[in-house]
Amino acid sequence: MPSKSAVVTVDEIRKHASADSLWLVVDNKVWDMTEFAPEHPGGTSILLRYAGKDATKPYNEIHAPSLISETLSPSKLKGTLDQSSVDPEWTKPPPEETKQLQLGKKPPLHTLLNAFDFERVGSETINPKAWAYFSSAATDLITLDANRNAYNRIWFRPRVFRNVRKCDTRTKILGCESSLPLMISPAAMAKVVHPDGEKVLARAAASQGIIQAISTNASYSVTDIVPSAPAGHPFVFQLYVNKDRAKTESLLRIVESLGVKAIFVTVDAHVIGKREADERIKADDSLSPPMSGTKNTDDKKGGGLARTTGAFIDESFEWEDLAWLRRVTKLPLVVKGIQGAADAKMAMRWGVDGIVVSNHGGRSLDTTPASVLVLLELQKNCPEVFDKMEVFVDGGIRRGTDILKALCLGARAVGMGRTFLYALNYGQEGVEHFVDIMRDELETSMRLLGITDLSQCHPGLLNTGDVDHLIPSLEEEHPYAKWRPKAVL
């Protein structure tokens, strides 16, 4: 058995190609996955497909570089690959990986006029597995659709005949200047769309003067991403708390050392929602049938990328743990994933610096309310939260008019996630072009609404009559909410 600093030949590795002894190579490191394989959130069979082989490419497509060392004990590292032993067979990709992006099919960037154009092009040209991961949402996509459609059911009440020559879209986000009330939401796996992934988003954010939120699951580490932008350009960091809290603490020390401005801690994804488009890609894979005679226990919970990347998240993390978090970082804290007035008030009581009203882009629990309607719920039941904290919102935003509506309902800024990944499909120029589009749409909408800076936004500029019946009262005022079941066990 080789020592951890040993070099291992491809012939040796090839011997460990079964469930009984399962080795993989990732980034030239040789790992023993035999014990881990049955617990792999993405299922055992994908590991078996690469057993005794180099899995660097598929691993990097969907995992952060550090995940493997965070997940496996150091004893599982068998050594580094003996480069001199590599033969042609070793470097041959498996047949299903030869499908290439048909980048030549993309229409010229200047013909893309809006967010939907980027989505359409993305659906046709992005790697199907990645597309399934990005575009999918929980089960029947009802919240996904509602996020979008709710904006279309909120109407403006424009004021006309006003001097709108000047128009100022600037704001401040947690003390940092932003040229637009628009952030890049944290998202994983940008690398599948563009080889430089989140680093490109960072460069474009800096050139456009907007703020990027970096995901714990980003395909590059925060240490790579932050320096991509000019020194001093502000970033925020999205945090999933690790079951091993020590790992989170050391991650936060790195984040702070990079000058990141705030922590967005996600609280609505303690378990990963059932995203069937993502899981179907795996389930339909005729190249990885369950081992004959063995019951494939992966099947019931699917094995899409989402569940793969979410396995380390601490599902016991709760409000009381904010005390610990406050202790281990002095950065401003924003709680991401608030879906109603009760938890917004909870956040206010805990004294956090902000909240993100979010349902994870419809990816967590289906039939949770459209996020913009939650803003309305806060205006109805606890408008004081908007004065005590900065409130952000994401989910369903595609137009400048959407941004404007969210701001009229009290949001300081909005986040967009998927569309930035689709814009990344055209590189930095694509992301910048997309921000230009959103800026033009927001400016045009402000002027046509009769306002010239964002402090003039307020609910009276909107007519919410089409959705008011969907806005709940506080739970304690709910007419049918008094009944409680008796415990039966």
What is the number of other CB atoms lying within 10 angstroms of the CB of residue 196?
20
Cα–Cα distance measured from residue 127 to residue 62, given in angstroms and rounded to the nearest whole number: 12
Cα–Cα distance measured from residue 144 to residue 328, given in angstroms and rounded to the nearest whole number: 35
- Which residues are the active-site residues? 360
- Ramachandran angles phi, psi of 383, nearest 5°: -60, -15
Q: Which of 84, 91, 161, 292 binds a second copy (CB under 8 A)?
A: 161
- 363-392: which residues touch a second copy (CB under 8 A)? 364-369, 376, 379-380, 383, 386-387
Is 440 near a second copy (CB under 8 A)?
Answer: yes
Q: Which of 279, 361, 421, 423 binds a second copy (CB under 8 A)?
A: 279
Task: Read off the DSSP letter of residue 179.
Answer: S
**Residue 327 contacts by C-beta under 8 Å, 6 or more apart in sequence?**
none
User: Residues 212, 205: contact at Cβ < 8 Å?
Assistant: yes
CB of 486 to a second copy, least distance (A): 7
Q: Which of 249, 256, 299, 353 binds a second copy (CB under 8 A)?
A: 299
The H or E element that residue 432 is part of is helix 427-449
For a second copy, what does the binding mask look like between residues 86 and 105, x meaning CB under 8 A? Answer: --------------------
> Which residue bears the tokens 């979008």?
148
Is 6 near a second copy (CB under 8 A)?
Answer: no
**Residue 453 contacts by C-beta under 8 Å, 6 or more apart in sequence?**
167, 168
Give the binding range for a second copy (CB under 8 A) out of 3-11, 27-35, 91-99, 154-162: 154-162
CB of 8 to a second copy, least distance (A): 34
- 167-226: which residues touch a second copy (CB under 8 A)? 168, 170-172
Q: Which of 121, 338, 393, 406 binds a second copy (CB under 8 A)?
A: 338
Give the binding range for a second copy (CB under 8 A) out of 34-42, 184-192, 250-258, 312-320: 312-320
Give the binding range for a second copy (CB under 8 A) out of 125-133, 155-163, 199-207, 420-428: 155-163
For a second copy, what does the binding mask look like between residues 441 and 460, x meaning CB under 8 A? Answer: x--xx-xxx---xxx-xxxx
Is 165 near a second copy (CB under 8 A)?
Answer: yes
227 vs 465 by CB, closer to a second copy: 465
| Strand positions, DSSP E, 121-215 | 155-156, 171-173, 176-178, 182-184, 211-214
The residue among 374, 312, 316, 370 whose CA lies nearest residue 341 is 374
CB of 438 to a second copy, least distance (A): 10
Q: Interior CA angle at 244 toward 54 and 330, to 5°? A: 115
Is 478 near a second copy (CB under 8 A)?
Answer: yes
